[in-house]
Amino acid sequence: MPYMKVSMGFWHGGNVLGRTGQQMRGEQVTSYWNIDWKKWNYPPVQPAAIPNRKGILTHPAWLIAHAQNLETDPIHRGKWIREKLLAGTIPDVPITVDAVIPPDHQKTLRQRMENRTGAAYCWRCHQKMDPLGFPFEIYDDFGRFRTEESLEHPENLLKEAKRGDVNAFGASLAVYKTLPVDPRGVLKGTGDPTLDGDVEDAFDLIDRLAKSEKVRQSIIRHAFRYFLGRNETLSDSKTLIDADRAYVDNEGSFDEVIVSLLTSDSFIYRKRNSRD
């Protein structure tokens, strides 16, 4: 099944759900957008505009990977962004902390989290994660876009599930009371005062991250570690600078980053082992 960098719908079990909810195989997906997957070259500008999707951070695969079994996970979504994109660090959970969000069937997950992680002792660490994860509350634990959060508890039941009464995803689900999603957040740590600040939602956050030099250089560093199989050292500075320049000079071509890394001295040569 051909892989595409952008979300072409809702991926599920190796298939993609089309606009009417039916499942399509990979070749059907490419045909739907008139794309020849055999000649696909991963262009920076994607040919298919999908509503409510913008890059990897809104792809259901990433959203589901950073979600709990029954609800979303703003903490780990924000932690991933802080560590992987903003080159930050988050300490381990202290053994004195009971890392559980108390249940409250009349509040959204964000409201429950703010009551718990907003405490001074917890906020010292959570201020680096939660404000980056809250913007993605516009996606549920299955990566589906939403504006309302369903309070799924028997006391909030409005309509029981009925066989034959299916939604857009082909499922028969019960209907519960909902509350509006609050996707506001805060971006700090880019090193650019024009980018840091309050964000409206995930799309606003993504747009700012995409303009950050620190985020770009973090991605280059992760690419270095992946293709060279080790962490960078001071002697690899020129290799990282050249890879970053290759990306910028070629309008965001990741292919050029790979070529730069694999033709660098860091890749071609290695230090002599004392046992050699």
Single out the residue of 118, 148, 133, 119 nearest to residue 67, CA to CA.
Answer: 133
Is the model more confident about 130 or about 35?
A: 130
Asked whether residue 21 carries a pLDDT value surpassing 50, the answer given is: no
Prediction pTM value = 0.80
Can you tell me the mean pLDDT for 225-240?
Answer: 94
**Share above pLDDT 70 across residues of the chain, in percent, rounded to a whole number:** 82
Asked whether residue 6 carries a pLDDT value surpassing 60, the answer given is: no
Asked whether residue 247 carries a pLDDT value surpassing 90, the answer given is: yes
Asked whether residue 59 carries a pLDDT value surpassing 70, the answer given is: yes
**Angle at CA 216, nearest 5°, toward 265 and 143?**
125
pLDDT tens-place string over residues 22-41: 445 656 667 767 777 777 76
Q: At what angle do helices 213-228 and 237-249 cross, to 10 degrees?
A: 120
User: Which pLDDT does position 276 carry in this prediction?
Assistant: 55
Write the single-letter amino acid at 204. D
User: Which pLDDT does position 271 carry in this prediction?
Assistant: 66
Tokens of 227: 């293709």
Is the model more confident about 150 or about 46?
A: 150
Single out the residue of 88, 202, 217 nearest to residue 137, CA to CA.
Answer: 202
Tokens of 60: 């259901």
Is the model more confident about 42 or about 22?
A: 42
pLDDT tens-place string over residues 160-197: 988 877 766 667 788 999 999 999 999 999 999 999 99
Mean residue pLDDT of the chain comes to: 84
pLDDT tens-place string over residues 199-222: 999 999 999 999 999 999 999 999
CA distance 112 to 109: 5
User: Which pLDDT does position 97 carry in this prediction?
Assistant: 81
Q: What is the pairing mode between strands 197-199 and 185-187? A: antiparallel
